[in-house]
Chains A and B, each alone.
Chain A
Amino acid sequence: MKSFKGKVLFLDRSDINTDEIIPAKYLTEITKEALRTYLLEDLKLEGFDPRRDISGKSIIVARSNFGCGSSREHAPWALEVNGINMVIAPDFARIFRQNMYNCGMIALELPADIIESLFMDFSGKDTQAEADIAAGKLIISSGGLKKQIPFSLGTFDRELVFAGGWVGYANNHY
């Protein structure tokens, strides 16, 4: 199972699409590793600089409909090779969400008001988070402030995370 722990990158925008996560011109790459330096290169978000803001981050918190657009699994791969195995948002585009779990990664849906409180409390600060899958809690902290947020993954989603993805699961079952 992958690690779901580390520094948090806050992206305060809805409808961040897969062209922004990894532009189509890089889809000519045939290794995941080659995508590393291009993550979020075309993201339209004021104050965000991918070269400065991505390094060292392990979890993204964003707004609604994250990952809309193209089916490219290069989007989760570009996150994965940067050490980001988890995105937290109110909701996700279907294909992106499935791609995340298919890779053994987590697209965690939390209610919009909780996401809002995370932005209010932690955005712009040096923030750490850790998802404990078995206990179903997300611990997020910065300085002296610490919050614990309960969550539950769907049965199938959790199995994919434990199996390391859909290929392993399907090969065992079908």
Chain B
Amino acid sequence: MGKTLVEKIFEAHRVDSPAEDIHVLKLDAVFCHEITTPIAINDLVERGMDRVFDPAKIKAVIDHVTPAKDSKTAEQGKILREWARRHSIKDFFDIGRNGVCHAIFPEHGFARPGYVIIMGDSHTCTHGAFGAFAAGVGTTDLEVGILKGVCAFKTPKTMKIIVSGTLKPGVFAKDVILSIIGRIGVNGATNMVVEFTGDTVTGMSMDSRMTLSNMAVEAGATSGIIMPDMTTVEYLWPFIKNDYPSKETALADYQKWGSDPDASYERVVELDAGSIEPMSTFGYKPDQVKPVREMEGTKVDQVYIGSCTNGRLEDLRIAAEVLKGKRISDSVRGIVSPATPKIYRQALDEGIIRIFMDSGFCVTNPTCGACLGMSNGVLAQGEVCASTTNRNFNGRMGKGGMVHLVSPATAAATALTGIITNSPLYKG
């Protein structure tokens, strides 16, 4: 019997099995941000165990509320900053260099095929796009990860999602993942790893793959995962070029992190890419999805483009293509947040930021910002936002606010009209 990619990763990292179905895994990376880490740091200090297992394997960023908005968030940043300094954590991204964790860490090559990664953030599953097992955890798991470099997981089951064929113009990874979540439900993949495969997925850029994998947790999944290929190697090449004589040898090495053809899956779901339309959520759960055409006419007060789901360069390029030379509706507040300084700078160089500004968008610094209503871009009671983020929970962007999750193309088109609208990129 063959093995799935995640079974191979578990085998290679297992240090203990305290019970039949529990595996304690050695960690290759522990990612940290300023919201969930400070309480772990304070607890370690209180216990007299203020240590880190390996400063080179810990990466930290201030991203959720930055610049700090008040004394409390300033204190959270301070705790993380001082901790990073006293433990000589070199990969610490503070203001001026900081961006959304699940965009900035891959950008620096910290997610690699075959890795086990944890972070105190549910969207850690994003890094599975690189062929890693990457799981969101709570503060206690994070604390033990920081201290001991291990984390316990149940025996992984894998759901295989095969997406085949060509996406219609104007249909993007976001529409694919919303369709998948709509089909399998918000707990359809609980305690499973979702392996995305099929020629549609292998044809996707790393940016698109990260969008797919990012929302695996919205179906309850522990991690998304995509088998590494030449696209993965090309993305990582600047970081691995001294480790391999050529891209081909890197690929040959990475291909050990692939599922066997006769691996066994808990469930297999197949999607025809050609039948997927631009999608939008309509309720308070990410599995409440409809084609955008059925939502057309829904009035919005705000459009938000950004986040770990859709704040990367590819997303900004698509939105700018829709916005170019046009003005957004007077009734809409447009906010765009490039996910990292590198993306921001590239968007500046490509003239994308000018397009956003000329169209009437407010451009913010890289931050998680509006997505979870923690700092800028909070909605008022009764307001509606078309957003490229990942959660439409009640109150997520502000108490009494409504969020419709859409792709960057749909978000941009919606900003122009003030009502949820299919983008002109979509030809039906």
Chain A residues in contact with chain B, CB under 8 A?
A: 15, 17, 19-20, 23-25, 27-30, 32, 42, 44, 64-65, 68-73, 76, 91, 93-96, 98-99, 102-103, 154-156, 159, 165-167, 170-171, 173-174
B293 at the interface (CB under 8 A from A): no
Cβ A19 vs Cβ B396 within 8 A: yes
A-side contacts of B72, CB under 8 Å: 28-30
19 pairs, A vs B, C-beta closer than 8 Å: A19-B394, A27-B36, A30-B79, A64-B187, A68-B186, A71-B136, A71-B137, A73-B36, A73-B139, A91-B187, A95-B122, A102-B141, A154-B22, A155-B20, A156-B19, A159-B18, A167-B47, A174-B24, A174-B144
CB B365 to nearest CB in A, in angstroms, measures 18
A-side contacts of B137, CB under 8 Å: 71, 95, 98
New A-B pairs, 6, CB < 8 Å, besides A19-B395, A27-B35, A27-B64: A71-B122, A93-B220, A94-B190, A159-B18, A159-B19, A174-B24
Cβ A72 vs Cβ B138 within 8 A: yes
Docked Cα-Cα span, A24 to B228, in Å, equals 34
Q: Mark B120-159, 1 if CB is under 8 A from A, else 0.
A: 1110100000000000111111011001101010100000
Q: Mark B2-34, 1 if CB is under 8 A from A, else 0.
A: 000000000000011011111010000000000
CB B382 to nearest CB in A, in angstroms, measures 15
B108 at the interface (CB under 8 A from A): no
Cβ B187 vs Cβ A65 within 8 A: yes
Interface residue count on the B side (C-beta < 8 Å): 58
Q: Mark B380-406, 1 if CB is under 8 A from A, else 0.
A: 000000000001011110010000000
CB A95 to nearest CB in B, in angstroms, measures 6
A30-B72, A95-B122 known; A174+B19 contact, CB < 8 A: no
Docked Cα-Cα span, A59 to B10, in Å, equals 35
Partner of A72, one of B16, B36, B38, B73: B36
Cβ B15 vs Cβ A174 within 8 A: yes
B374 at the interface (CB under 8 A from A): yes
Of chain B, the residue at the smallest CB distance from A96 is: B138
Cβ A69 vs Cβ B373 within 8 A: no
A-side contacts of B328, CB under 8 Å: none
CB B1 to nearest CB in A, in angstroms, measures 25
B-side contacts of A17, CB under 8 Å: 393
CB A35 to nearest CB in B, in angstroms, measures 11
B-side contacts of A29, CB under 8 Å: 72
Docked Cα-Cα span, A50 to B22, in Å, equals 36
CB A88 to nearest CB in B, in angstroms, measures 17
Docked Cα-Cα span, A44 to B396, in Å, equals 12
Cβ B220 vs Cβ A65 within 8 A: yes
Docked Cα-Cα span, A95 to B21, in Å, equals 16
A42-B394, A70-B122, A95-B136 known; A25+B186 contact, CB < 8 A: no
Partner of B187, one of A24, A93, A167, A170: A93
CB A26 to nearest CB in B, in angstroms, measures 10
CB A50 to nearest CB in B, in angstroms, measures 13
A99-B140, A156-B18 known; A30+B39 contact, CB < 8 A: yes
CB A166 to nearest CB in B, in angstroms, measures 5
5 interchain residue pairs of minimum CB distance:
A99-B138, A73-B138, A102-B140, A156-B19, A28-B72
Of chain B, the residue at the smallest CB distance from A169 is: B18
CB B123 to nearest CB in A, in angstroms, measures 8
Of chain A, the residue at the smallest CB distance from B399 is: A42
CB A164 to nearest CB in B, in angstroms, measures 11
| A25, A27, A96, A155 — most chain B CB neighbours (10 Å) | A27
Cβ A24 vs Cβ B373 within 8 A: yes
Of chain A, the residue at the smallest CB distance from B372 is: A24
Cβ A71 vs Cβ B186 within 8 A: no
| A28, A103, A166, A171 — most chain B CB neighbours (10 Å) | A28
